[in-house]
């Protein structure tokens, strides 16, 4: 399955997906990386990896819809079958989301539906939660909502600063996203309403794992 990866910055999740795609038995191929910001660090890695890396700069467009027309065209030009948002920081309109319905996924650094939007880690710490994590989900119009494919749990440690927690969750993201993409690209995900089921699901489930819930110290 040809994937297009949308980024806005660092691109470490994009890098995790691209690395996964290099394995011969991985069911997805990175066809293009597109950033809405010309200065996104991730573009360098994509180019270094020999993957077409484009900028569709949202600031160059008069409207969101105009921006999305070119974004859609760039994805189509590269034969993209599934869009993977990876730290892509633009809200997409219903028109674009509907065009890619059930063919666009996103990663968010919380256990959805908790802590949608920005500053997930700050809010988790402020509210004293003991477990947070990350989620990969199909994209719907409402921000950070849509059928959840897979989640990973991460412990919030005493005295965590948001940056500490973000770094720990990011490590889980880098495992979870390639894992979730594999399930989608293998055609194993079935969506019914807001629920995703996985064909051939075993016990323990392939869609939930919790790396290092009890780290030393």
Q: Name the one range near ligand GRF by CB under 6 A: 5-13, 53-61, 74-82, 185-193.
A: 5-13
- Toward ligand GRF, which CB reaches closer, 13 or 189? 13
Cα separation, 47 vs 29, whole angstroms: 15
Cα separation, 69 vs 170, whole angstroms: 31
- Toward ligand GRF, which CB reaches closer, 69 or 210? 210
58 is catalytic: no
Angle separating helix axes 12-21 and 162-185, nearest 10 degrees: 30
Q: Is 147 in the site for ligand GRF (CB under 6 A)?
A: no
Cα separation, 7 vs 185, whole angstroms: 20
- Toward ligand GRF, which CB reaches closer, 1 or 107? 107
Q: Name the one range near ligand GRF by CB under 6 A: 3-11, 57-65, 191-199, 203-211.
A: 3-11
Site for ligand GRF in 173-202 (CB under 6 A): 173
Per-residue interface string for the shown chain with ligand GRF, residues 8-37, x marking contact by CB under 6 A: -xxxxx------------------------
Site for ligand GRF in 98-117 (CB under 6 A): 107-109
**Residue 192: CB minimum distance to ligand GRF, A:** 26
| Active-site residue identified among 58, 108, 121, 137 | 108
- Toward ligand GRF, which CB reaches closer, 108 or 179? 108
CB 54 within 8 A of CB 74: yes
Residues of the shown chain interacting with ligand GRF in the complex, contacts defined by CB under 6 A: 7, 9-13, 86-87, 107-109, 170, 173
The residues annotated as belonging to the active site are 108
């Amino acid at each position: 399955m040809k994937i297009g990866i949308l980024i806005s910055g660092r691109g470490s999740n994009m890098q995790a997906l691209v690395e996964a795609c290099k394995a011969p038995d991985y069911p997805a191929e990175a066809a293009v990386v597109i950033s809405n910001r010309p200065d996104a660090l991730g573009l360098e890695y994509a180019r270094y990896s020999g993957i077409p890396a484009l900028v569709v700069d949202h600031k160059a467009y008069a409207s969101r819809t105009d921006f999305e027309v070119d974004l859609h065209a760039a994805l189509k030009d590269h034969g993209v079958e599934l869009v993977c948002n990876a730290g892509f920081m633009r809200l997409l309109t219903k028109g674009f989301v509907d065009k890619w319905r059930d063919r666009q996924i996103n990663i968010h650094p919380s256990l959805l539906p908790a802590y949608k939007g920005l500053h997930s880690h700050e809010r988790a710490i402020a509210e004293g939660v003991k477990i947070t994590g990350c989620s990969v989900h199909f994209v719907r119009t409402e921000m950070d909502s849509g059928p959840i494919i897979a989640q990973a749990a991460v412990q919030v440690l005493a005295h965590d600063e948001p940056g500490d927690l973000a770094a720990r969750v990011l490590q889980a993201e880098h495992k979870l996203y390639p894992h979730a993409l594999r399930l989608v690209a293998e055609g194993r995900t079935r969506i019914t309403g807001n629920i995703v089921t996985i064909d051939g699901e075993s016990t323990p489930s392939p869609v939930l794992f919790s790396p290092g819930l009890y780290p030393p110290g």
